[in-house]
Amino acid sequence: MPHDHAPHPYRPDQDGPLTEAQVTEIAIRELLIEKGITTASEVTAEVEAMDARSPAQGARVIARAWTDADFKARLLADGTAACEELGIEMGTLKLVALENTETTHNVIVCTLCSCYPRNLLGLPPDWYKSRAYRSRTVKEPRAVLREFGTRLPDKMAVRVHDSTADMRYLVIPSRPEGSDTLTEDALAALVTRDGMIGVTQL
Amino acid sequence: MADRVRVKSWMPPGHIRTPAYLRGKTGEIERRLPAFPNPELLAYHLPAPDIPLLRVRFTMEEVWGADAERPEDVIEAEIFAHWLEPA
């Protein structure tokens, strides 16, 4: 197609040479397939499974916690086991759930990399992996929250959780006012990814 | 392990899961987690014995001093036991 309008910024095609890591990945993948250890369709299926994960799983957990106090207690005591109760495949993910209350707001960050409960929330948003979010959230969380439109009352304490090692974190947002009559499915639809990271309130 | 702990202020090279901004800081144990393989060895495919992991709570004042945005807010992080000493 001709492209004959005024110049504008564009993102160049990625025609540069492969990095060492990319060459290594391709070599290992091809060897595993040649040796019959895996197949190309298994690799594709794994990528699809990874892409299919979404915050809907986490929202289901939150809606259950809002409607079932015993479940919430189990979720706070052992996040991994409680999610497995709901049939969620946790794999190696070890979960700590943290509850927002009238006096405490929780927010999650991984200063060292981008640790994230992918089984529950899908792939992390780009900003979660940015140096700005990672460095500022531990230093000035209230300023970061304000940039997400989250203004906390003065009396509310902030707990920042740096996901430094083997645990992953899920914030249980406060249940929105006026949601008393909603079904569990309708409640789950109110729960957002950002609410479960703790950068917004619902 | 005491309930008040100080993070060692080692600065070794390698794959370390103790953030530099918490080294030398004092906090209280928020909860005790199971033991996990030592990531400093695991990263290099070396035999990595399990080490207890603890969640430690630090005040913003302890971490950032006079620059703290709100001194009484807290930061919690997972720190492996070999990085902690009684405070």
Tell me the per-residue pLDDT of A116-167, one tens digit each, with 9 for 90 and over: 999 999 999 999 999 999 999 999 999 999 999 999 998 999 999 999 999 9
Q: Where are the domains of chain A?
A: 20-51, 53-197
Asked if the C-beta of B19 comes within 8 angstroms of chain A's C-beta atoms, the answer is: yes
- Would you state the structure tokens that stand for residue A179, as one six-digit string? 């949601």
Compute the mean pLDDT over every residue in chain A, rounded to the nearest whole number. Answer: 94
Interface probe, candidates A94, A95, A115, A138, chain B, greatest B C-beta count within 10 A? A138
Residue range of the domain that includes B79: 4-86
Reported ipTM: the value is: 0.96
CATH no., domain A53-197? 3.90.330.10
The minimal CB distance from A141 to the residues B21, B67, B69 is found for B69
Active site residues of A: 110, 113-115
> How many angstroms separate the Cα of A91 from the Cα of each of A7, A74, A84, A87, B57?
49, 19, 10, 12, 28
Number of folded domains in chain B? Answer: 1
> How many angstroms separate the Cα of A130 from the Cα of each of A65, A111, A116, A127, A189?
31, 10, 13, 5, 28
The minimal CB distance from B69 to the residues A94, A143, A159 is found for A143
Asked whether the predicted pLDDT for residue B7 surpasses 60, the reply is yes
- Taking contacts as CB-CB distances below 8 angstroms, the residues of chain B near A166 are 33, 36, 53, 78
- Would you state the structure tokens that stand for residue A194, as one six-digit string? 């950002």
pLDDT at A186: 97
Q: What is the CATH number of the domain that holds B77?
A: 2.30.30.50
Asked if the C-beta of B65 comes within 8 angstroms of chain A's C-beta atoms, the answer is: no
